[in-house]
């Protein structure tokens, strides 16, 4: 490895000099061999605290295990460190075609600047909204604005009429859902204005201009604004517009004489050649007073000379056209044969009364959306926290501490353990301790739904996707879990075809509804759980290997109750309090012989079985008007000689019915163990139908 890292020394040295990037190199065992100061500063560690340590102890979200095992490059993935996100690439280090280590480095890192820009934008957003929202009511001028997340933030009625949508169907939705062929995402991605274009929507021809919205040289959104044209307008007019030839100014000026748009054009020396009536009205000048005059004589604070000099495009700049009146302007150089021959400044002009009407509508829409969010949050709420997870055994405390650490990352998490150990409780506690706690927690039982229903539940469907599909379609659980957590319980029972689709979702971070064609980005943490041995299932080709490694980024193994019997008293106390509260009973004590009986039991159903037995015992004690649980309140344990701990015997005789039930329960447990917790196989071993097995599992509290 030393020889290998010497080959990387130039790369490492150059990266060390870059405060906006970080890197880390590990050997085949996952131990850190090199780490940059930038990453150390972020982690709050010294170099000696990290070198030689397993990367999982330093960067739990590092995701290098698959790179080390598979030797595949993992490009442009997100990594969260102490709540800050960056984009990283992970590559294997090979020698003689063998993987001997892995290398992770960031493509960019200075997220603090982006956070600063967002805060600045939020401070100025009300002012920006007041200005922009005033553009309403023009039958010839339409506009739509998206933010950097590709979601619609503003749109006027003219554009809504073109789309054939209502405001409620548009604001806050992804632009590709509102207008599937929109080119605005390209403007966000490139940061460059799009050329003047003719665009047809629902039979309407429009001249469209698409521009990035910039702040401090950062793209924070994009705007598309249009002149709606009669279908007969020849396309050669648009070609002329694209050439931006000053000889075409007469035609151009005729097209732009809208009360909602202000334009002025200067030649290469800064003399005004075109100014429309809207602009003239604002500055209170006649055309004869401005045409042929230098721009600075008319507008002393104009920045068009800077545009002529630099050739730079200024987009969505807030500029005081006259004292007390700000407008949003775009400035573009006019070029011919690569040379700047002039510059144009154009703006959307604003009617404050219209803005108030639109602002009121937006506020009403926002209130409706907040109500919807509150309903989703109430429906998909995680109840359990780490304070609710009781236990003082060493193994349980260790697992609980690990779970708390994992709650601070965004990594996909796999929780394993026997049925009834509390895997979902841990998942809920992790969600409630994470920065996603205000988002929904949505549970899907992968074993309880048929494959066709499972797909529509997870990914949603469009209207008409299948017989019986709801009008308007339905969002899937991945969409509803936005900003929160989705819990995939019994992941080991997911059909293979669904495993393939889930793998794609985890890799691409997008979902596509059944019957849909538009990919929808998702922002959700995935926690999966199983009581099956996925490693053996992978070896038996019953579970996809690549999905296993994608899920098994971080694993939490919940111990069975029989390995933490010292926790039994505190669990009994906690469960009895909950059950009494639910049943409105007051059986708050348990006798020593009854507790001794619980200690001698093997607990194949774990904590869930303990809760079921205690609820039955409290009911029996309540019936006989007692305030304490006695051994007689556990008849199944008194008569159960099969599932006692090894070496434990009780002398109470068994009656026939209970003996048969105990034997049946024992056989089911053994069949499940033999089948690796695969219920279908266990049913085959027992010679019964799967549905019959599920009924018996419920009967005996075996889940």
Is 219 a member of any domain?
Answer: yes
What's the pLDDT at 649? 42
Highest mean pLDDT among 41-45, 361-365, 471-475, 602-606: 602-606
Q: Are residues 151 and 29 in the same domain?
A: no
703/283 Cα distance (integer angstroms): 77
User: What ranges make up the beta strands (E) of 156-260?
Assistant: 197-201, 204-215, 218-229
Is residue 469 scored above 90 in pLDDT?
no
For residue 677, the model assigns a pLDDT of 85
User: Which pLDDT does position 19 carry in this prediction?
Assistant: 54
Q: What DSSP assignment string belongs to 575-625?
A: HHHHHHHHHT----EE-HHHHHHHHHB--TTHHHHHHHHHHHHHHHHHHTT
List, for residues 204-220, the tens digit of each pLDDT value: 556 677 777 776 678 88
Residues 238, 256 share a domain: no
My answer on whether 415 and 551 are in the same domain is yes
Q: Are residues 223 and 305 both part of a single domain?
A: no
Of 452-456, 464-468, 568-572, the range with the highest mean pLDDT is 568-572
Q: Based on the fold, state whether residues 219 and 254 are members of the same structural domain.
A: no
Among 86, 41, 93, 98, residue whose Cα is nearest residue 62:
86
d(CA 25, CA 92): 10
With respect to residue 530, please indicate whether it lies within any of the assigned structural domains. yes
Copy the structure tokens of residue 426. Answer: 């841990």
83 with 132, same domain?
no
Does the pLDDT value for residue 58 go beyond 60? yes
Q: Cα 31 from chain centroid?
A: 30
Domain that holds residue 604: 590-699
Please check whether residues 292 and 225 belong to one and the same domain.
no
- Domain containing 44 — which CATH number? 3.30.450.20
Pairing mode of beta strands 74-81, 84-95: antiparallel
Q: What is the pTM of this model?
A: 0.44
Contact in structure between 24 and 56 (CB atoms under 8 Å)? no
Average pLDDT of span 307-330: 74
pLDDT bracket for residue 644 (50, 70, 90)? very low
What pLDDT band is residue 430 in, cutting at 50, 70 and 90?
very high
Q: Is 18 exposed, middle or buried (0-12, 13-18, 19+ CB in 10 A)?
A: middle
38 & 99 share domain: yes
Across the chain, mean pLDDT equals 76
Task: Dig out the tokens for 486 from the structure.
Answer: 């989705």
Number of domains in the chain: 5
- The pLDDT-based confidence of 201 (bands split at 50, 70, 90) is low
Q: 214 and 124, same structural domain?
A: yes
Q: For position 87, what pLDDT does the model report?
A: 64
Secondary structure E strands in 364-482 = 413-416, 441-445, 460-461, 474-475
- The whole-number average pLDDT for the span 596-601 is 91
Q: How much is the average pLDDT of 131-159?
A: 68
Highest average pLDDT, of 12-16, 55-59, 130-134, 366-370, comes from: 55-59
Task: Write out the H or E segment, with its range, that includes residue 119.
Answer: helix 111-132
Judge whether 4 and 11 are in contact, CB under 8 Å. no
In a domain, 581, yes or no: no
Residue that wins the pLDDT comparison between 220 and 321? 220
The last residue of one of the domains, among 557, 576, 607, is: 557
Q: What percentage of residues in the chain have a pLDDT greater than 90?
A: 20
For 606-642, the pLDDT digits (tens) are 999 999 999 989 988 888 788 899 998 888 887 654 4
β-bridge partners, 146: 152, 222
Choose between 89 and 662: higher pLDDT.
89
Q: CATH number of the domain that 488 lies in?
A: 3.40.50.300
Nearest to 551 by CA among 494, 509, 506, 510: 506
- Among 109, 141, 161, give the residue marking a domain's end: 109
Confidence of residue 516 (pLDDT cuts 50, 70, 90): confident
pLDDT at 353: 39
Instruction: Judge if 474 and 336 occupy the same domain.
Output: no
**Distance from C-alpha of 638 to C-alpha of 419, rounded to nearest angstrom:** 23
314: closest CA among 327, 331, 301?
A: 331
Give the end of a domain, one of 243, 260, 276. Answer: 243
Which ranges of 433-567 does DSSP label H, i.e. alpha helix? 451-459, 477-480, 496-508, 534-539, 545-551
Q: Is residue 569 part of a domain?
A: no
Overall average pLDDT of the 451-463 stretch: 84
User: Cα separation of 360 and 352, whole Å?
Assistant: 12
Q: What is the pLDDT of residue 25?
A: 87
Tens digit of each residue's pLDDT (9 = 90 or more) over 337-391:
778 888 888 775 444 434 444 445 555 555 555 555 555 555 677 889 999 999 8
Confirm whether 570 is domain-assigned: no
User: pLDDT-based confidence at 416, cuts 50/70/90?
Assistant: very high
The reported pLDDT for the residue numbered 524 is: 93
Based on the number of CB atoms within 10 Å of its own CB, is 156 exposed (0-12), middle (13-18) or buried (19 or more)? buried
**CB-based contact 568:382 (threshold 8 Å):** no
Q: Do residues 333 and 260 share a domain?
A: yes
d(CA 365, CA 360): 9
pLDDT band at 240 (very low <50, low <70, confident <90, very high): very low
Provide the Cα torsion 692, 695, 696, 701; round to 10°.
Answer: 160
Residue 87 and residue 16 in one domain? yes
State the pLDDT at residue 204. Answer: 56
């Amino acid at each position: 490895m030393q020889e290998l890292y010497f080959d990387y020394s130039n790369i490492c040295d150059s990266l060390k000099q870059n405060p906006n990037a970080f890197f880390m190199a590990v050997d085949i065992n996952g131990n850190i061999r090199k780490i940059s100061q930038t990453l150390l500063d972020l982690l709050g560690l010294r170099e000696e605290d990290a070198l030689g340590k397993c990367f999982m102890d330093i960067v739990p979200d590092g995701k290098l295990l698959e790179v080390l095992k598979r030797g595949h490059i993992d490009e442009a993935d997100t990594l969260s460190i102490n709540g800050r996100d960056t984009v990283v690439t992970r590559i294997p280090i090979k020698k003689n075609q063998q993987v001997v280590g892995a290398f992770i480095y960031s493509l960019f890192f200075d997220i603090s600047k982006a956070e600063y820009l967002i805060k600045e934008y939020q401070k100025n957003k009300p002012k920006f909204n007041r200005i922009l929202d005033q553009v309403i009511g023009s039958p010839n001028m339409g506009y739509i604005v998206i933010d950097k997340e590709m979601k619609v933030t503003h749109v006027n009625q003219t554009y809504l009429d073109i789309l054939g949508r209502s405001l409620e169907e548009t604001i806050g939705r992804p632009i590709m859902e509102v207008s599937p062929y929109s080119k605005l995402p390209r403007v966000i991605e490139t940061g460059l204005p799009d050329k003047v274009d003719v665009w047809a929507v629902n039979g309407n021809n429009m001249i469209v201009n698409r521009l990035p919205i910039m702040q401090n040289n950062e793209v924070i959104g994009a705007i598309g604004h249009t002149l709606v044209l009669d279908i007969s307008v020849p396309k050669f007019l648009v070609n002329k517009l694209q050439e931006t030839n000053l000889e075409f100014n007469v035609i151009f000026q005729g097209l732009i004489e809208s009360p909602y748009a202000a334009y002025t054009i200067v030649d290469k020396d800064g003399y005004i050649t075109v100014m429309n009536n809207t602009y003239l009205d604002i500055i209170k000048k006649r055309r004869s007073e401005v045409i042929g005059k230098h721009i600075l004589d008319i507008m002393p604070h104009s920045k068009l000379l800077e545009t002529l000099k630099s050739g730079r495009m200024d987009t969505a700049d807030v500029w005081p056209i006259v004292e007390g009146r700000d407008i949003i302007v775009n400035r573009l150089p006019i070029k011919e044969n690569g040379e700047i021959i002039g510059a144009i400044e154009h703006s959307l002009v604003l009617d404050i009364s219209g803005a108030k009407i639109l602002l009121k509508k937006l506020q009403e829409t926002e209130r409706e959306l907040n109500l919807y969010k509150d309903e989703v949050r109430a429906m998909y709420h995680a109840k359990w926290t780490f304070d609710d997870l009781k236990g003082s055994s060493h193994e349980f405390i260790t697992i609980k501490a690990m779970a708390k650490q994992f709650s601070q990352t965004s990594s996909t998490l796999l929780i394993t353990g026997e049925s009834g150990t509390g895997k979902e409780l841990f998942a809920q506690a992790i969600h409630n301790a994470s920065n996603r706690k205000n988002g929904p927690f949505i549970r899907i039982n992968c074993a309880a739904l048929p494959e066709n229903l499972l797909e529509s539940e997870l990914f949603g469907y469009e209207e008409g996707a299948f017989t019986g599909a709801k009008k308007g379609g339905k969002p899937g659980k991945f969409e509803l879990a936005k900003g929160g957590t989705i819990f995939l319980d019994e992941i080991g029972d997911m059909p293979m075809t669904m495993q393939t689709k889930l793998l794609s979702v985890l890799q691409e971070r997008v979902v596509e509804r059944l019957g849909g064609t538009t990919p929808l980005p998702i922002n959700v943490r995935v926690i999966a759980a199983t009581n099956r041995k996925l490693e053996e299932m992978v070896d038996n080709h019953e579970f996809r290997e690549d999905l296993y490694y994608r899920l098994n980024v971080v694993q939490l193994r919940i111990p069975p109750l029989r390995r933490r019997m010292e926790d039994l008293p505190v669990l009994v106390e906690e469960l009895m309090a909950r059950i009494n509260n639910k049943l409105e009973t007051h059986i708050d004590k348990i006798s020593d012989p009854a507790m001794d009986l619980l200690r001698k039991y093997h607990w194949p159903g774990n904590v869930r079985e303990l809760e079921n037995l205690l609820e039955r015992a409290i009911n029996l004690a309540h019936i006989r008007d007692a305030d304490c649980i006695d051994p007689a309140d556990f008849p199944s344990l008194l008569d159960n000689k099969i599932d006692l701990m090894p070496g434990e015997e009780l002398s109470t005789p068994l009656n026939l019915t209970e003996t048969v039930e105990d034997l049946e329960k024992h056989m089911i447990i053994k069949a499940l163990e033999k089948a690796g917790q695969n219920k279908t196989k266990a049913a085959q071993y027992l010679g019964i139908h799967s549905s019959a097995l599920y009924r018996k599992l419920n009967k005996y509290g075996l889940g």
